[in-house]
Amino acid sequence: KLIRVGVIGCGAIGKEHIERLTNVVPQTKVVAVYDYVDKVAQDVAEKYDATSYASGEELIRSDEVDAIVVASTDDTHAGYAMECLKQNKYVFCEKPLALTAKECEEMMEVEAKQGHRLLQMGFNRRFDKGYVEMKKAIEEGEIGAPLMIHSAHRNISQAPGFETDYAITRVAIHEIDISRWLLGDEYDEVQVLSVKQSKRTTGDWLNPQLIMFKTNSGQRIDVEVQTDGAYAYDIQCQVVGEAGTLDLPDPATVVKRENQQVSYGLGDHWASRFSDSYNEEFLGWATGILKDQLVGASTWDGYASCVTSDALIKSRETGKPEKVTLMEQPEIYK
């Protein structure tokens, strides 16, 4: 059975997803699209032989659409995701799940009433081969108990309109999710530390930012977040255990020897760096839908990342560590 997918938001990531759902995932066909810029939606609809809808809500409610991808602007995610849950339709939602934790709580309530998981969050790194191997090694005890994680998230540039908070809600949110996933624990407290600023920032937001998490069992995670001006799109993650360490591999590119040097390319963008993980993520989504057993990050994980983001933003303002307080985890996410 072919899953008929509607995509809301046809910007950079929306187009990436449509391409994958069309050419990589055999079980899906993009039949409907919506974008707040009419012309963009119409062009995409024409290219992929889909129907362009007048609104996201109309697309969600359409009998022609079985499952929805939400890749619109951050402030609209919660509204669309909620509508999908109410309609008992599967939804893939890009991060962040919402701008407030309260909206996430409401979504969990509706999803629980529907009685099965309907939402998968766009935390693609959970499908990256490197991170998957690291998690397996941790779970099999290969480095003993994990004690801390050192990580870095470095960007060359950002789209216009970037703001200080986005370093957390759009960028470091990947580390917020992947670190708690790797360690299988929730955060107790988080902190933003001030750091000397880079002159290579093209706007007036804070860059870099240094953030710290402490898990309930006392593990510490540091994340260096450079949102602009870095030498490459570079993602680093090292888990330090009692008996050894694990390093996220760099992308597999040709190793070049010339002019008395050895080098390999890191790439300039998330789309190429994590291309394989996006493929796996959508293959997993389609299989999950067909089995009615979604995999990947859930509404709970979306909620946990929102609460953590809020605490980090608060910490940046207060200059102190801030507590992360989560509600009791609903049954369906256990």
Q: Which residues bind ligand ISE (CB under 6 A)?
A: 155, 170-171, 174, 270
- State in angstroms the smallest separation of the CB of 239 from ligand ISE: 19
- State in angstroms the smallest separation of the CB of 152 from ligand ISE: 11
- Identify which of residues 99 and 137 has a Cβ nearer to ligand ISE in the complex: 99
- Identify which of residues 117 and 273 has a Cβ nearer to ligand ISE in the complex: 273
Residue 174, amino acid: H
- Identify which of residues 96 and 146 has a Cβ nearer to ligand ISE in the complex: 96
- Identify which of residues 3 and 171 has a Cβ nearer to ligand ISE in the complex: 171
Token pair for 21: 């759902």
How far apart (Å, rounded) are the C-alpha atoms in residues 314 and 117? Answer: 31
What are the angstrom distances between the C-alpha of 321 and each of 109, 118, 316, 333? 30, 34, 9, 28
Token pair for 139: 């779970």
- State in angstroms the smallest separation of the CB of 61 from ligand ISE: 28
* 3-state secondary structure (DSSP) of residue 206: coil
- State in angstroms the smallest separation of the CB of 74 from ligand ISE: 9
How far apart (Å, rounded) are the C-alpha atoms in residues 120 and 122? Answer: 7
Q: How many CA atoms lie within 13 A of 198 on its CB side?
A: 22
- Identify which of residues 52 and 155 has a Cβ nearer to ligand ISE in the complex: 155
Beta strands at 209-215 and 220-226: parallel, antiparallel or unpaired: antiparallel
Burial class of residue 160 (count of CB atoms within 10 Å of its CB; 0-12, 13-18, 19+): exposed
* 3-state secondary structure (DSSP) of residue 152: strand
Whose CB is nearest to ligand ISE? Answer: 270
- Identify which of residues 277 and 299 has a Cβ nearer to ligand ISE in the complex: 277
Residues 6+ away with beta carbon under 8 Å from 167: 205, 206, 207, 209, 225, 227
